[in-house]
Amino acid sequence: MATQGISPAGSHGGDARAVAESLGLDPASMLDLSQNLNPFAPDVERLVREHAAAVRRYPSADAAHRLLADVLDVDINRLCLTNGGSEAIALVASEIGGGVALEPEFSLYPRGNEGPIWRSDPHSPGGSLAGAEVHADVWDEAFYPLATGRWSAVRPGVIVGSLTKTFACPGLRLGYVIADDVGRMAQRQQEWPIGSLALAVLPELLRQADLTGWQARIARQRATLASLLEAYGWSVRAADAPWVLVEADDLRTRLAPFGVVVRDCASFGMPGTFRIAVPDDDGLGAVAQALERLAHE
């Protein structure tokens, strides 16, 4: 199948629409495994419809802030609700700076030569959880709940998180910062940083959270995905995160015409490595079909 003209890989995945349009395919037909989201999250589209009237009100984060503090089991004065994990990272980076201990690491972290050390847990893109011996001053726990079944490792230092990963709703932009001096970060926020619709939906999402169940299902599905890929001859690394890494020759370009989009890790400085998010059951079937068709090109 012809693959010329496929759109270039984006910096952060989630580019199925661009890939589909470049190939003349229906975007709705694409399985986007270039973005890592909870494959077993609640039906957020239904909740959005039920709370659509919230868009007629100015945002008030007080109730959502209190509920999230209770769920995370942190003092409300140590918690700042943010416009996604990206704002959480930006607020902390702007206030305290810092850098990473080792590359590759998530691209949004600061890259200073001194100051606080940043670390993703589980590591992005490697996928492994940090051992007890690993030190960091700022921990990014965006995928920690899905990897462990717990909201946080409750370590010293600053924590940034991304609820949009946990609940598979990146368009709603929900994240947070936990820190003893979180007011330093919060003062950098613009007025009404989070929309009314996201704040209205968040309490119901938190009530439906099943971290231990999701972690167990993702672990089983990750193992099945790895076995499927290995059965077709691919070299796979599967750790603790809701994705696997595959060593392959331009797997993104080769799978896209069959309706599956994966993440090219060249942006991490890892050419020839591709990250594939753990899909739900239907998605796993789509991956199996795409691999079979690829094998018979």
Whole-number pLDDT of residue 3: 45
List pLDDT tens digits, range 123-139.
999 999 999 999 999 99
Looking at residues 165-182, what average pLDDT do you find? 97
Start-to-end CA distance of the chain, whole Å, equals 7
Spatial CB neighbours of 158, under 8 Å, sequence gap ≥ 6: 92, 96, 116, 137, 138, 139, 177, 178, 179
pLDDT tier, 111 (very low <50, low <70, confident <90, very high otherwise)? very high
Whole-number pLDDT of residue 4: 54
Q: How is residue 141 written in tokens?
A: 């726990």
Whether 161 shows a pLDDT value over 70: the answer reads: yes
C-beta of residue 147 within 8 angstroms of C-beta of residue 257: no
Whether 20 shows a pLDDT value over 80: the answer reads: no
C-alpha span between 56 and 196 (Å, rounded): 8
Mean of per-residue pLDDT scores for the chain = 94
Residue type, 179: A
Q: Model's pTM, two decimal places?
A: 0.94
Whole-number pLDDT of residue 1: 44
Whole-number pLDDT of residue 274: 96
Looking at residues 18-47, what average pLDDT do you find? 91
Whether 5 shows a pLDDT value over 80: the answer reads: no
